[in-house]
Structure formats: structure tokens, C-alpha cells
Amino acid sequence: MNNKRILILSYSYSSQTRNLLNGLIEGLHETEREVHWEQLSLPSELRFPLGSVAATVIMMVQTFFRKRYPVNPVSSACFEQWDLVILAGPTWSYSPSGPVLSLIDRDGKQLFAGRMVLPFISCRGYWRVHYFGLKSLLKRCGARVLTPIVFSHPTPEPWRTIGVFLKLAGRAPEAGSSWFRRFYPKYGHSRQQISECRKLGLKLGQTMQAGDSLEQLVFPIPIQAEELSKDDSRRLG
Ligand SMILES: Cc1cc2nc3c(=O)[nH]c(=O)nc-3n(C[C@H](O)[C@H](O)[C@H](O)COP(=O)(O)O)c2cc1C
């Protein structure tokens, strides 16, 4: 039996990456892949939501300049031999999140040198600069970087940008009976995207089980399940 092992390293601030990964891991487990999921934690966790417009603006400016958010040490299992490392997290001001940047600064070479790394991005909609920046950091650590898996929020612009800002500022834009709710029914990813993620996990697990190259495995970018559901058997199958 082909016993390929997968390490998932992730950070999630408002649970969106975590929700998607729950789907992905469900799919991977269906193919009996061995998965170790390491969720990054901070010495003092960031409050979600931030709770004010001022705090949100400050965080956006700081993260635009790639502010690092130090993370607690990761477990020794992360430094074992893994066939695939999935590095997952949100986009923060067009870059990888501060905790992921800190992890790469501190442990990047030990974690990623010589490894196949699959970037996994949860974002409102703007992932390209994040991906190219991350790819270059990972390559400097000696990783082989695969085409990323990207999920963007399915709500159209400009509502998702305003919605994310209000959500961070603690305004719960999707709640109550305001007119805004008609255009912004939900913060973050849809249930359908989580279920697409399970299918992706299954496909990834099957590809590894068959011993096929992961470099051939390319998913649509970004994944908005509403589009995918039209012909997902062709695109994922
Ligand atoms: C400080 C901050 C900056 C953000 N900047 C961007 C951005 O530049 N582009 C984008 O598409 N989403 C941006 N987002 C939205 C998140 O990427 C998005 O909500 C993601 O789904 C959150 O995932 P998480 O809950 O796992 O942290 C930002 C969020 C935060 C908190």
C-alpha cells in the first residue's frame, strides 16, 4: 500500500481557512492518507473581530508592510519526512498573513527545504500578489512549490470588500435586517465551497495514492463553488 504522508500547516484568524481545511481533510481521510494538521497559534491570540474601525485600519496598514506576528513553536512531528506539505492561511493586505510570515522566517528552511509545498489560500478575492510573494519565500527555503489552491469569498464586489471591513470592525454586516444584508448575506466562504474542498481532498488523496505527479493536478483559480457546480465533474474529475 502506497503510504504517502501529508503535513498541513495552517493559520486562520476568522475560521475561514479552518472551515475549508476541515472539508479538505475529510476528503483526504476518505483515501486513507496519513495527515498531520498543525494549526499555528500565537503567544497571545488576536481578538476576532477587532471591534473598531480604528483598530481595523491600523491592522490593514501594518499588514500591508508585512508585519510579523510571532507564532508558538510547532510540534516536532512537523520536522519529520512528509511527501507533501500544505501551507494554508488567509491573505492579509495582499501578502501572506503575519503568523505564516513569522513561521517562514523562523523555521522555513527546516520545514520546507527539499519538500513539495502546496500553498492553500483563503481570501476575499485578491490572491495573486500573496501567491507570488509566498512562492518566492518558499523557493528561497528550497521548496518545490505547486500551483496553489485558492478560495475567494463568493459574494460579488464591492459588497465583499465592505463586508470584510465591517466584519473586522465588529459590525456584523450579515446580521439583522439592514439593506446591506440583501447584498451581503454571509461573511466568508459558502457551504458549497467547503463541500468542493472535500472533493478536492479526495482528488488529491487519490492522485497521491496512484503515485501520479501532483504537478499535473491543477484546480480552477480561484475556486468559487457557485461556478464550479455547473460542471465540476469535468473540472475536478
Ligand atoms: C488584516 C486583513 C487584511 C486582509 N487583506 C486582504 C487582501 O488584501 N485581499 C483579500 O482578498 N482578502 C483580504 N483579507 C480577507 C481575508 O483574507 C479573508 O477574510 C479570509 O477568508 C480570512 O481567512 P481566515 O478566517 O482563515 O483568517 C484581509 C483580512 C484581514 C484580517
Q: What are 160-179's pLDDT values in tens digits?
A: 999 999 999 999 888 877 88
Contact present, 232 and 196 (Cβ < 8 Å)? yes
Helix, strand, or coil (residue 137): helix
**Which atom of ligand 1 approaches the CA of 56 most closely?**
1
pLDDT of residue 105: 98
Q: How confident is the model at residue 226 (pLDDT cuts 50, 70, 90)?
A: low
- pLDDT above 70: residue 45: yes
Residue of 45, 48, 91 with the most ligand 1 atoms within 8 Å of its CB, for mutation: 91
pLDDT of residue 228: 43
Mean pLDDT of the chain: 92
Distance 124 CA to ligand 1 centre (A): 6
pLDDT of residue 216: 84
pLDDT of residue 129: 98
Contact present, 73 and 106 (Cβ < 8 Å)? no
Tell the residue nearest (CA) to atom 7 of ligand 1: 93
pLDDT of residue 231: 38
Q: How confident is the model at residue 1 (pLDDT cuts 50, 70, 90)?
A: low
- Closest-CA residue to 35 (of 6, 64, 68, 67): 6
Q: What's the distance, CA 207 to chain centroid? A: 21
pTM: 0.94
Distance 181 CA to ligand 1 centre (A): 20
Distance 60 CA to ligand 1 centre (A): 10
Residue of 13, 159, 186, 197 with the most ligand 1 atoms within 8 Å of its CB, for mutation: 13
Contact present, 189 and 18 (Cβ < 8 Å)? no
Beta strands 144-145 and 116-123: pairing type? parallel
Q: How confident is the model at residue 236 (pLDDT cuts 50, 70, 90)?
A: very low
Q: How confident is the model at residue 147 (pLDDT cuts 50, 70, 90)?
A: very high
For the domain with range 5-154+189-236, which CATH number is right: 2.60.40.10, 3.60.110.10, 3.40.50.360, 3.30.2130.30? 3.40.50.360
Helix/strand/coil percentages in the chain, nearest 5: 45, 15, 40
- Closest-CA residue to 68 (of 7, 11, 17, 124): 11
Distance 125 CA to ligand 1 centre (A): 9
Contact present, 11 and 17 (Cβ < 8 Å)? yes
Mean pLDDT, to the nearest integer, of 46-53? Answer: 96
Residues of the chain with CATH 3.40.50.360: 5-154+189-236
What residues are in contact with ligand 1 under a 6 Å CB criterion? Answer: 12-17, 59-60, 63, 90-94, 122-126, 164, 168, 188
**Which atom of ligand 1 approaches the CA of 167 most closely?**
19
pLDDT of residue 76: 98
Percent of the chain with pLDDT over 70: 94
Percent of the chain with pLDDT over 90: 84
Burial of 62 from C-beta contacts in 10 A (0-12 / 13-18 / 19+)? middle
Q: Is the peptide bond before 222 cis (omega within 30 degrees of 0)?
A: yes
- pLDDT above 70: residue 138: yes
Residue of 65, 123, 152 with the most ligand 1 atoms within 8 Å of its CB, for mutation: 123
pLDDT in tens, 88-137: 999 999 999 999 999 999 999 999 999 999 999 999 999 999 999 999 99
- Closest-CA residue to 74 (of 48, 111, 49): 111
